Structure 1
């Protein structure tokens, strides 16, 4: 494949709805559920159930218009501030938050959450709580010193970043630079929860092939530690499906505590 035919997420964007349909829907042909839905939901429930990760505000910097990774968080944080690079992602997300006609259906993700957590009686309450927590969806610019200019965000007590660093980074230097930029939004002692794909070089959205940065477990753990963090938890799940839509080898989940500012 000619590299010139690849697109970059933060430059060219992607079809927000088709991305969700490919990788996060409940359609029978969607084969990624164990990796993209069940694995992160299980890990997040485990993380928050310890009671060590909680506070007033949580910042979400994640790929596309995904919300399932926030179901566990809404029980432990008063406010969830979501940052998005593209207007299409913001519109897709707000359509779901506001319960508008045509919004993407996340009911299957909510069911995974309550089933894994053993709280099936709270299914309806769960979606209500997530929506009420996500009242701030803000557009950001990665290249500005203050990404949310002119808005100045208060330091977060927790950051969740799911798959975004994979797609905005072109190499190791880029990944480390963006990780440090994200981590500056976090209070000392706060937690950074990182979800990513190992060994991924592309993923498809419709006919568009989106280029990504392929890294391994050793690289990302060193990047986090050198960024001033102590890793409290790290788990890798090997790929469980077969599909030509993307070439990732495994999912990685990291919880790290910010020890110092670099």
Structure 2
């Protein structure tokens, strides 16, 4: 794969420690509404096409291709977001959301309960309705998603059972939205977290993974935060080592320049779990 900014070899990445200037976002006390307003709001968001619409298109494609299906999906996404669940609610009877940060857990519950002042996702709900072309209203789409989300659980991805102390049955599908990138301090930890997450997925089940290639930071308020830098070669090897067969790997080249974050490509992977590790 050819890419532009800060292209380095995989073996060089392996030796690169976490930048000590950049804290991990789950170790910084940031109002979850700052995260939502900065990256997911409807107003003047130049990144919407890439960081929101791109994964939504890929999820829709995965769910309508006929391969990814089942009864239960686990969602592990960076931030208190629900937009990635809108299409999943058409396929899965039960969605379980795992959230690492307590304040994010509370923000998700506000939306699920339709609390006044909860974050407005209507711009993306309308986008998904238009994409699916079912003539469904965006309010109906959101209510269907609320009904599908059965549980929101605290998690710790560094544990062998991320949902500890709750023990969940293995599920049919696992969606990971940039959490591996953000939580992993280095590539060995990425592999370890991926293994922990994968323990919740049935053999034969599907991992849907959204991430950023060759990214080095992102910003929230006054904070510049850590994100793991890795490339396509590393991602392929990490998935293979964790028992996956990649069904598809789609790359989206960055077209937007932003002071908030840097990356060369977005990546979306559909991978089938072939064996336990």
TM-score, shorter chain, exceeding 0.5: yes
Alpha-carbon distance in structure 1 between the residues aligned to 2:240 and 2:179: 19
Aligned equivalent of 2:40, options 24, 27, 33: 24
Alpha-carbon distance in structure 2 between the residues aligned to 1:152 and 1:57: 15
* Runs (5+) with no aligned partner, structure 2: 1-17
- The reply on whether 1:113 has 2:111 as its aligned counterpart is no
Aligned equivalent of 1:235, options 226, 250, 256: 250
Aligned twin of 1:205? 220
- After superposition, what is the alpha-carbon deviation per residue over 1:8-66, rounded to whole angstroms, capped at 9, x for unaligned? 123335331111111111112x1110111111111111110122211111101110111
CA contact (8 A) 1:41 1:69 kept: yes
Aligned equivalent of 1:5, options 9, 16, 21: 21
Matches for 1:46-125 after TM superposition, within 5 Å: 46-125=61-140
Task: Give RMSD over aligned pairs.
Answer: 1.5
Deviation, 1:172, is: 1.4
CA contact (8 A) 1:31 1:242 kept: no
Alpha-carbon distance in structure 1 between the residues aligned to 2:198 and 2:123: 31
For these two proteins, the number of residue pairs brought into alignment is: 260
- The reply on whether 1:249 has 2:271 as its aligned counterpart is no
CA contact (8 A) 2:126 2:137 kept: no
Alpha-carbon distance in structure 2 between the residues aligned to 1:155 and 1:4: 37
Aligned twin of 1:225? 240
CA contact (8 A) 1:13 1:86 kept: no
Deviation, 1:246, is: 0.6
Structure 2 SS opposite 1:45: helix
CA contact (8 A) 1:235 1:252 kept: yes
- The reply on whether 1:14 has 2:33 as its aligned counterpart is no
CA contact (8 A) 1:140 1:149 kept: yes
Matches for 1:156-167 after TM superposition, within 5 Å: 156-167=171-182
Query: Could you tell which deviates more after superposition, 245-254 or 13-22?
Result: 13-22
Q: Give TM-score scaled by structure 1 length.
A: 0.95
CA contact (8 A) 1:140 1:148 kept: yes
Query: Could you tell which deviates more after superposition, 160-169 or 147-156?
Result: 147-156
- After superposition, what is the alpha-carbon deviation per residue over 1:204-227, rounded to whole angstroms, capped at 9, x for unaligned? 011111111011112112211221
Alpha-carbon distance in structure 2 between the residues aligned to 1:142 and 1:39: 25
Aligned twin of 2:51? 36
CA contact (8 A) 2:157 2:197 kept: no
Structure 1 SS opposite 2:156: coil
CA contact (8 A) 2:71 2:93 kept: yes
Structure 1 SS opposite 2:136: helix
Distance 1:14 1:120, change over 3 A: farther
